[in-house]
Amino acid sequence: MLSNRFTRLTIAALTSATLAGAAPALAQTPDHSADSSAQFPTKHDLKSLTTAGSYLAARHASVERDATSAAAFYRSALRTDPKNNELLDRAFISSLADGDIDEAVKLADRILTQDKSNRVARLVVGVRDLKQKKYATAQININQSIRGPITDLVATLLSGWASFGAGDSKAAVANIDKLTGPEWYPIFKDLHSGMILDLAGREKEAGVRLERAYKLDDSMLRVAESYGRWLSRNKDAQAATAVYEAFDKKLPRHPLVQEGLRETKAGKKLPPLVDSAQAGAAEALYGIGATLTRRGGEDLALVYLQLALYLQPTHPMALLSLADLYESVKKPQMAIKIYERVPANSPLKRNAEIQLATNLDAADRSDDAIKILKRVTAEDSKDIEAIMALGNIERGRKKFADCSETYTKGIEAMPAVAEKNTWVTYYYRGICEERSKQWSKAEADMRKALELQPEQPHVLNYLGYSWIDQGINLDEGMKMIKRAVDQRPDDGYIVDSLGWAYYRIGNFEEAVKHLERAIDLKPEDPTINDHLGDAYWRVGRTLEAKFQWAHARDLKPEPEELPKIEAKIENGLPDDTSSAASAEKRKEDGKGG
């Protein structure tokens, strides 16, 4: 019965009417065939549909957060009904959400012939103009996209970069300085003013702005990077190194910070973070997009991140943020495609591969995931993050002998100073050992985990449950589970453990009480339903027992449990010769505690 116990700022839109259509169009749905490279819909699919059919298919794709299919279906419907403004708006937003900016630009141009005040369309064509170095028209379009605190800031920063591109860095900084707003504006204003001044060759003024941004928030990665890079060129390596070291203490081992440390310690003068107006604008879109992602503004974040990548397709931080956004809405297939785009020479490639593997596993491509992680760990046998990711995938896929070995490598690679944080590795290894029938090793690891993290509820639960399920150490096991429940009274799995522990010692009435509570907390878990069925049978509630077993059967239990459940539905339970009596015999035989 232990088999599955532990494996188990809203932001205002640019225009409420337009982005309301974007909300359900965040990402791609699961593939429509076994071939993950298959494209849907095909040209044949689109030709076979009427306007109404394409529209309904597009709406369904939007509900499923499938921007790729939604954009294709809306464009198909628009071809047969080209004067339908609703279809035009929806095709535009879906194409934008899908990252097809070239198509979105075409549609935006059409929208602006009919609605010159459409702010989203203005933003998109403005970014297109900026990319094409048409800086004067870029500023006109971008400035007409302003509405609200987020879009005001974005438009002002983009307009500033357009001014810089047109050769007027003084006007760029002056316009950014004029912007007033929320308390979080200054850090973005100083960062981008500093980067513009740096590229314009006004290094001293740039340093003042970048230092000011750094003092406002020294834990913001791109601020620390920009200031550290400026210091390496305009002051000395020691000052630059100090900035990177201070950040490393707040967020240890970030790859970009590690690279900066290596290079500044070697006395290298690091180039500015951006090298053009386009790269600066991409940085502005990425910075705001990443912030929105963390604060619940996924729809607007998606637009900004896609536009950032339109300007700078290989921007590694924007790629990682976009992939992370897709993960947050549970679209691993789309996250996979984005992680695969991270450049091979980027310091972030290793992080991307670890996350890529996690998403491959979520997409039921665990063999591919394991292959990637084995290569990453072979390249660096001390890579704890990759080792743990590999072990977790193996454990989730029930490769228990393999995950036991992998977690052993993780324990061996962990620095001695970090031993207290290894409790979870001992815990996971203990699970793998218990599941691969190496109980003595599992028990030792569970005890070690508790030594490192006393009273950890999941460890208490697992160890106590295991003892009682074996009929050993009954008193200590029961006390452990009760302590776990005290800490996690609303965890259905832990409450189930307590109920099952009472069942195993023959206290069926108490078992029913706790198992009913567990069902309230986790009604769709087959194991808990099965347990409650057993307890009902023992107290004579046979009809309810069969109902619970039938429910457990329908909830897709573990394959090895299904025949047992079906047998109980057919025949009930045999007379009780186990539980308390069996446990007592084990104790008498010297096997109990």
At residue 380, what is the residue type? D
Is a pLDDT exceeding 90 seen at residue 509? yes
Question: How confident is the prediction for the chain on average, in pLDDT?
Answer: 88
Pick the more confident residue, 384 or 10.
384
Q: What is the pLDDT of residue 31?
A: 37
Q: What is the pLDDT of residue 417?
A: 59
Q: Which of 120, 194, 210 is nearest to 161 (CA)?
A: 194
8 A C-beta contact, residue 428 and residue 391: yes
CA distance linking residue 464 with residue 430, whole number of Å: 13
Pick the more confident residue, 54 or 125.
125
Band of residue 39 on the pLDDT scale cut at 50, 70, 90: low
8 A C-beta contact, residue 69 and residue 57: yes
Summarize pLDDT for 93-152 with one digit per residue, the tens. 999 999 999 999 999 999 999 999 999 999 999 999 999 999 999 999 999 987 788 889
Name the CATH architecture for the domain at 482-593: Alpha Horseshoe (1.25)
Is a pLDDT exceeding 60 seen at residue 28? no
Residues ≥6 apart with Cβ < 8 Å to 415: none
Band of residue 5 on the pLDDT scale cut at 50, 70, 90: very low
| Mean pLDDT, range 489-504, rounded to an integer | 95
Helix, strand, coil % (nearest 5) of the chain?
70, 0, 30
| Mean pLDDT, range 562-569, rounded to an integer | 96
Pick the more confident residue, 171 or 60.
171
For the chain, the structural domain boundaries read 482-593
| Mean pLDDT, range 191-209, rounded to an integer | 97
Q: What is the pLDDT of residue 461?
A: 97
CA distance linking residue 326 with residue 9, whole number of Å: 18
Pick the more confident residue, 382 or 12.
382
| Mean pLDDT, range 430-446, rounded to an integer | 97
Band of residue 310 on the pLDDT scale cut at 50, 70, 90: very high
Is a pLDDT exceeding 70 seen at residue 585? no
Q: Which of 379, 350, 348, 373 is nearest to 360 (CA)?
A: 373
Angle at the Cα of 423 (from 419 to 427), degrees rounded to 5? 145
CA distance linking residue 278 with residue 275, whole number of Å: 8
For the CA atoms of the chain, what is the radius of gyration?
29
Phi-psi region at 524: left, alpha or beta (left = phi > 0; alpha = psi -120 to 50): alpha
Exposure of 275 by Cβ count < 10 A (0-12 exposed, 13-18 middle, 19+ buried)? exposed
Task: Tell me the whole-structure pTM to 2 decimals.
Answer: 0.83
Q: What is the pLDDT of residue 64?
A: 78
Summarize pLDDT for 316-349 with one digit per residue, the tens. 999 999 999 999 888 899 999 999 999 999 999 9
Band of residue 418 on the pLDDT scale cut at 50, 70, 90: low
Q: Which of 412, 404, 450, 455 is nearest to 428 (CA)?
A: 404
